[in-house]
Amino acid sequence: MKKVDAIISIALALLLSFATSAQSLPHTATQVTPKSNAAILKQPLAASAAPPTNAPAAKELLITNATILTASHGTIKNGSILVRDGKIAAVGANLKATDANAVVIDATGKFITPGIIDCHSHTAVEGAINEGSLSVTSMVRIQDVLDPYAVNVYRELAGGLVTCNILHGSANSIGGQNAVVKLKKGKPVEEWFIQDAMPGIKFALGENPKRSNNLGANVTQRRYPATRMGVEETIREAFIKAKDYMREWQEYEAKKANDPQAIAPRRDLQLDALVEILQGKRYVHSHCYREDEILMLLELGDEVGFHVQTLQHVLEGYKVAKEIAAHQTGGSTFADWWAYKLEAYDAIPYNAALMTQRGVITSINSDSDEHARRLYLEAAKTMKYGGLTEEQALRQVTLNPAIQLGIDKRTGSIEVGKDADFAIFSAHPFSVYTMVEMTIIEGEVYFDRKQDLERRVALKKEKEELMKKEREMRQKGHMPTGRPAQPQPLPGAIDEELLDHGHIKPETQEVRNDQ
Amino acid sequence: MINKIKVFFTLLLLMVSLAGAPLNTAAQSNETYAIRNARIVTVTGAVIEKGTVVIAKGKIAAVGANVSVPSKARVIDATGLSVYPGLIDSGTTLGLEEIGSVAGGQDTAEIGDNNANLQVIVAVNPSSSHLPVARVNGITTALTAPQGGLIAGQSALINLAGWTWKEMALKTPVAMHINFPTGDGAGGRGGFDFGPIANPRSLVEIRREQDKQIDKLKTILNEAKIYGEAKDAKAQDSTLPKLDVDLKKEALLPVVRGQMPVVIEVQMARDIKKALEFADEMKLKIIISGGVEAYKVADLLKAKNIPVIIGPVLRFPANEDDAYDAPFTNASQLMKAGVKIAFQTSDSANSRNLPYHAGMAAAFGLSKEDALKALTIYPAEIWGVADKIGSIEVGKVANLIITDGDPLEIITQIKHLFINGHQVPLTSRHTELYEKYKARP
């Protein structure tokens, strides 16, 4: 009997401590162990598919003689940037490194922008991006399913992309928790998370949570909500529950000081995330299209007590830009993607410019790993459509998404004290003839076109040698050991293409997620 | 049968109008224009730094530095602006679809393996909002092509303005479109499906299926050939038994006789090689479309003198271990090998982004001149309309754009637009919504 009591009391104690710790929000993206930038800098790059990069042994990096598009305070011609311990130490003319071992990059004739930021990405997510079983899945987390070896990450780095807001899909009225990362390819994924980024969550309105498209023959998968009315009620109901839950915890906290027998409410991971939203500790990033649903969410936030940090896609944001601006809500949209579904039929490429001109902090996002590698060109479209200035346009993929993600104190522009995140271009980043030559994250080179080209030659040679060797062994009648099981060769001679392609499944045409 | 009659009349109309006889068809403008003080990028000749283009009766009537302006001409002062030929998107579904998720507006892909008798032109919706969206960014002409089945049907070259599809048709039919079966588990557009990813087939199975599908194509073409022979024989000897009309075989006659080009939609290098073997065996005149791995067989394509319609350029490489920029460098590698190229978006709603596909290829090695030519005169040559469009030359259709800069650059604005000699307003669904909501208090 005594033993059982002891077990129960231990279990209770454990439960209590677990419940108490819920108050300190362990279930967030910020639980990743912080590491200093210096520590990161000292680590050599792990082996990866990426070409080896110049991981600087020196603490200082000096980039000289470039045209610097700061995104915050204009363009500096013939400028230099001094980086120390992964941070921007100085920006200006004729800078000198204090460290004799500093890495120097001569960027004569080149253009430098802040590292590109994508406020709507699904990159490196392993498997499905939707937990589609319920319409409220605030408990699931993108941070748990990131694949640092995803091939697209390198392709994105080759487009100057540094920071991504990796979002859950849009199947649910309230989706899962997002992750804000830097694409530190070759580093353990734990080091990708931006430690001080505000945690966030995906909401979704309109056709996707309604599931009016794409169900095909699976009509049995219909579920509530199936209308925009139902989406509003689903979100309202979830927050009503969350408020009750929050009150229960507050009452418990108040009671517990005087009453050691007080029993904590049962922990609910789904509601924990919603409570964080109500307490202003978690950003809402809501997928939306039409003006009606945009206005609905802003009003619902006012009613229930949550702030919408960004409206994602927000293709009709230009129709209610005034209302969005009044709520201090950001808009993250596409440059010119439209007509792929009914709610995208009134999408116009002037959206970002109109919202900007009405005072909305606006960004251009990709929602596509392929578009993500040329976001700088997507940003240029906001100059063409609606006449944003060059700096306003550049901010669409740098400073503005940083503000929207709450990371503008550390990145998004080229200013002293910020992270040394850059893209170096061969020509003006808004020229169609430009090319990213180098991508730098916190002072480390993660993409270098020159090295990429050199590595191609080496890889080609290595591949030819390996194929030759394998061919010879096959001709001698024995397969190399240790090779994974392969399909039986076709009748006849050795199939060169099987050697060539058999090991990698070709990718099909890129399709936008819109999710 | 109705289709055939429509096509007949379309062709008749084209023949008549091109012969120059009645010029009062609504397709062409009776207005005379003079674009003065412009930088004229003729594409086929030297750039004229300051000159005049005269448009009359829908055609380019005069081009040069010292051209007299007809008294009745409406004058457009293009000081500081440049005139270019209208851009040509060599692969689209323009006019065939409106809203992706709404089935009612989707006319891109018919059911069935053999759709040889389909004419895309009759399904082109002249009121589609995609057309003005594309043309206000300088796309004046597009190949619009069917997509469904092994043999998808016959494409048309359309000008992106006109009251009816008849007025829009610049040339129809242009080519027979075949979705080449892939043996690589990737690539081909809408050809056929290898089943859900959850149950992937081995390469061996995929290739067996490919061979089966290629055999099927050969059978279809051989049967058309035999049908043609029977028809010829019947024409010679009326005592032979009656031959039932077969519309699909009828449609394939110009193909098997080498009179109509075949556009083969194919992406991977191995499949392209197979497609070339297939074309040799069947004695087809072919054009490769898509060709994301065409650069790997560039020399072969050059040896056989096969043009490639590249695109979309803005896409991922075909394989995980390909260079990240493989789709971007494809064009320059083909050009270097001497292959004739043109660009396509393979899109409808965003056909307007055609110049940026070419621009990306130019960023990665293609010369700016070739990038522009691959949007103008090269496609005109490939599609057999180099006498009508693709450059600024006297006698050609007045499809012109007047810009404040290089049309391949994103920030360049189109200032005036001419299609068939009509000055087309620079408005679209997008500009209209923009103006409406810009004015919201």
Handedness of CA A192, A334, A207, A202 (dihedral sign): positive
Q: Which of A386, A500, A348 is nearest to B429 (CA)?
A: A348
Determine contact, residues A166/A194, Cβ cutoff 8 Å: no
Task: Compare CB distances from A504 to B202, B321, B410 and report the shortest one's residue.
Answer: B321
Q: C-alpha dihedral over A285, A290, A293, A294, to 10 degrees?
A: 50
Q: Which of A107, A112, A53, A61 is nearest to A84 (CA)?
A: A61
Q: Domain span at residue A177? A: 117-410
For chain A positions 139-168, those within 8 Å of chain B (CB to CB) are 151-152, 154-155, 158
For chain A positions 323-342, those within 8 Å of chain B (CB to CB) are 336-342
Instruction: Look at the block and give the residue holding tokens 């098997």.
Output: B256
Edge-to-edge, what's the strand order for the sheet holding A116-121?
A: A116-121, A161-166, A179-182
Check residues A302 and A476 and name the one with the higher pLDDT: A302
Domain B87-387, second-level architecture: Alpha-Beta Barrel (3.20)
> Do residues A329 and A443 both lie within one domain?
no
Contact state of B434 with A348 under an 8 Å Cβ cutoff: yes
User: Does A512 map to a domain?
Assistant: no
In SS3 terms, chain B reads as CHHHHHHHHHHHHHHHHHCCCCCCCCCCCCCCEEEEEEEECCCCCCCEEEEEEEEECCEEEEEECCCCCCCCCEEEECCCCEEEECEEEEEECCCCCCCCCCHHHCCCCCCCCECCCCEHHHHCCCCCCHHHHHHCCCEEEEEECCCCCCEEEECEEEECCCCCHHHHEEECCCCEEEECCCCCCCCCCCCCCCCCCCCCCCHHHHHHHHHHHHHHHHHHHHHHHHHHHHHHHHHHCCCCCCCCCCHHHHHHHHHHCCCCCEEEEECCHHHHHHHHHHHHHHCCCEEEEECCCHHHHHHHHHHHCCCEEECCCCCCCCCCCCCCCHHHHHHHHHHHHCCCEEECCCECCCHHHHHHHHHHHHHCCCCHHHHHHCCCHHHHHHCCCCCCCCCCCCCCECCEEEECCCCCCCCCCEEEEEECCEECCCCCHHHHHHHHHHCCC
Judging contacts by C-beta atoms under 8 Å, the chain B residues touching residue A487 are: 202-205
Q: Which of A213, A223, A271 is nearest to A25 (CA)?
A: A271
Residue-averaged pLDDT of chain A: 86
Mean pLDDT, rounded, for A447-474: 95
pLDDT of residue A476: 87
Task: Compare CB distances from B184 to A348, A433, A506 and report the shortest one's residue.
Answer: A506
User: Does A418 map to a domain?
Assistant: yes
> Do residues A64 and A160 both lie within one domain?
no
> Residues 6 or more apart from A66 whose CB is under 8 A from it?
A78, A79, A80, A81, A107, A108, A110, A111, A112, A424
> Do residues A79 and A195 both lie within one domain?
no
Mean pLDDT, rounded, for A335-363: 98
CA distance A200 to chain B (A): 29
Q: What six digits make up the tokens of A113?
A: 């922008």
Does the beta carbon of A394 lie under 8 angstroms from any beta carbon of chain B?
Answer: no
Mean pLDDT, rounded, for A316-335: 98
User: Does A16 map to a domain?
Assistant: no
Long-range contacts of A124-129 (CB under 8 A, 24+ apart): A124/A148, A124/A150, A124/A152, A124/A153, A124/A166, A124/A181, A124/A183, A125/A166, A126/A150, A128/A169, A129/A167, A129/A168, A129/A169, A129/A513, A129/A515
Judging contacts by C-beta atoms under 8 Å, the chain B residues touching residue A338 are: 349-350, 430
Other CB atoms within a 10 A radius of the CB of residue A196 amount to 12
Handedness of CA B78, B82, B85, B87 (dihedral sign): negative
For B193, name the nearest residue in chain A, comparing CA atoms only.
A508
Residue B410 CA to residue A77 CA, distance in Å, equals: 23
Does the beta carbon of A387 lie under 8 angstroms from any beta carbon of chain B?
Answer: no
User: Domain of A366: which CATH number?
Assistant: 3.20.20.140
For B325, name the nearest residue in chain A, comparing CA atoms only.
A155
Three-state secondary-structure class, residue A419:
strand
Check residues A55 and A102 and name the one with the higher pLDDT: A102
Q: What six digits make up the tokens of A245?
A: 């839950």
- Residue range A17-49, pLDDT digits in tens: 443 333 333 343 333 333 333 333 333 333 333
- Residues of chain A with pLDDT > 90, as a percent, come to 75
Judging contacts by C-beta atoms under 8 Å, the chain B residues touching residue A340 are: 99-101, 349
CA distance B32 to chain A (A): 30
| ipTM for the assembly | 0.91
Does the beta carbon of A492 lie under 8 angstroms from any beta carbon of chain B?
Answer: no
> Residues 6 or more apart from B129 whose CB is under 8 A from it?
A339, B98, B428, B429
Residue B70, preceding peptide bond in cis (omega within 30° of 0): no
Which of B434, B435, B436 would you mutate first to test chain A, the one with the most A CBs within 10 A? B434
User: Does A7 map to a domain?
Assistant: no
For B200, name the nearest residue in chain A, comparing CA atoms only.
A505
> Do residues A98 and A163 both lie within one domain?
no
User: Does A31 map to a domain?
Assistant: no
CA distance B419 to chain A (A): 22
- Residue range A59-105, pLDDT digits in tens: 899 999 999 999 999 999 999 999 999 999 999 998 999 988 999 99
Determine contact, residues A453/A402, Cβ cutoff 8 Å: no
User: Does A36 map to a domain?
Assistant: no
Judging contacts by C-beta atoms under 8 Å, the chain A residues touching residue B270 are: 497, 501
pLDDT of residue B200: 64
> Do residues A185 and A269 both lie within one domain?
yes
CA distance B77 to chain A (A): 22
pLDDT of residue A143: 97
Residue A148, preceding peptide bond in cis (omega within 30° of 0): no
A203 has a pLDDT exceeding 90:
yes
Residue A514 CA to residue A208 CA, distance in Å, equals: 9
Contact state of B203 with A502 under an 8 Å Cβ cutoff: yes
Residue B421 CA to residue B418 CA, distance in Å, equals: 5
User: Does A20 map to a domain?
Assistant: no
Determine contact, residues B17/B25, Cβ cutoff 8 Å: yes
Instruction: Look at the block and give the residue holding tokens 């003079």.
Output: B34
pLDDT of residue A496: 42
- Residues of chain A with pLDDT > 70, as a percent, come to 80
Contact state of A151 with B320 under an 8 Å Cβ cutoff: yes
> Do residues A94 and A153 both lie within one domain?
no
Residue-wise burial string across A311-347, b where 16 or more C-beta atoms lie within 10 A, e elsewhere: bbbbbbbbbbbebbbebebbbbbbbbbbbbbbbbbbb
> Do residues A307 and A295 both lie within one domain?
yes
User: Does A80 map to a domain?
Assistant: yes
> Residues 6 or more apart from A292 whose CB is under 8 A from it?
A228
Query: Using the 8-state DSSP alphabet, how is residue A156 labeled?
Result: H
A315 has a pLDDT exceeding 70:
yes
Please determine, looking at this structure, whether the domain spanning B31-85+390-441 carries the CATH number 3.40.50.150.
no
Beta strand A179-182 with A174-177: parallel, antiparallel or unpaired?
A: unpaired
pLDDT of residue A222: 78
Residue B282 CA to residue B260 CA, distance in Å, equals: 13
A420 has a pLDDT exceeding 60:
yes
Three-state secondary-structure class, residue A473:
helix
pLDDT of residue B6: 52
Q: Which of A278, A109, A151, A130 is nearest to A208 (CA)?
A: A130
Judge residue A54's burial from the number of C-beta atoms within 10 Å of its C-beta, 0-12 exposed, 13-18 middle, 19 or more buried.
middle
Q: What residue ranges do the domains of chain B occupy? A: 31-85+390-441, 87-387
> What is the pLDDT tens value at each position of chain B, 441 positions in all?
455 555 544 444 444 343 333 333 456 788 999 999 999 999 999 999 999 999 999 999 999 999 999 999 999 999 999 999 999 999 999 999 999 999 999 999 999 999 999 999 999 999 999 999 999 999 999 999 999 999 999 999 999 999 999 999 999 999 999 999 999 865 333 333 334 444 567 888 999 999 999 999 999 999 999 999 999 999 999 999 999 999 999 999 999 999 999 999 999 999 999 999 999 999 999 999 999 999 999 999 999 999 999 999 999 999 998 999 999 999 999 999 999 999 999 999 999 999 999 999 999 999 999 999 999 999 999 999 999 999 999 999 999 999 999 999 999 999 999 999 999 999 999 999 999 999 999
User: Domain of A111: which CATH number?
Assistant: 2.30.40.10
Check residues A415 and A132 and name the one with the higher pLDDT: A415
> Residues 6 or more apart from B211 whose CB is under 8 A from it?
B183
Check residues A297 and B9 and name the one with the higher pLDDT: A297
Contact state of A340 with B315 under an 8 Å Cβ cutoff: no
A511 has a pLDDT exceeding 70:
no
Determine contact, residues A205/A174, Cβ cutoff 8 Å: no
Pick the last residue of a domain from A410, A443, A469: A410
Task: Compare CB distances from A158 to B319, B324, B410 and report the shortest one's residue.
Answer: B324
Distances (CA, A) of A41 to A186, A387, A409, B1, B113: 13, 41, 20, 73, 58
Count how many domains chain A has: 2
Contact state of B323 with A377 under an 8 Å Cβ cutoff: no
For A158, name the nearest residue in chain B, comparing CA atoms only.
B324
Say how many Å lie between the first and final Cα of chain A, rounded. 55
Contact state of B99 with A345 under an 8 Å Cβ cutoff: yes
Q: Which of A369, A367, A392 is nearest to A379 (CA)?
A: A392
- Residue range A122-179, pLDDT digits in tens: 999 998 899 988 999 999 999 999 999 999 999 999 999 999 999 999 999 999 999 9
Task: Compare CB distances from A350 to B349, B362, B434 and report the shortest one's residue.
Answer: B434
> Do residues A419 and A402 both lie within one domain?
no
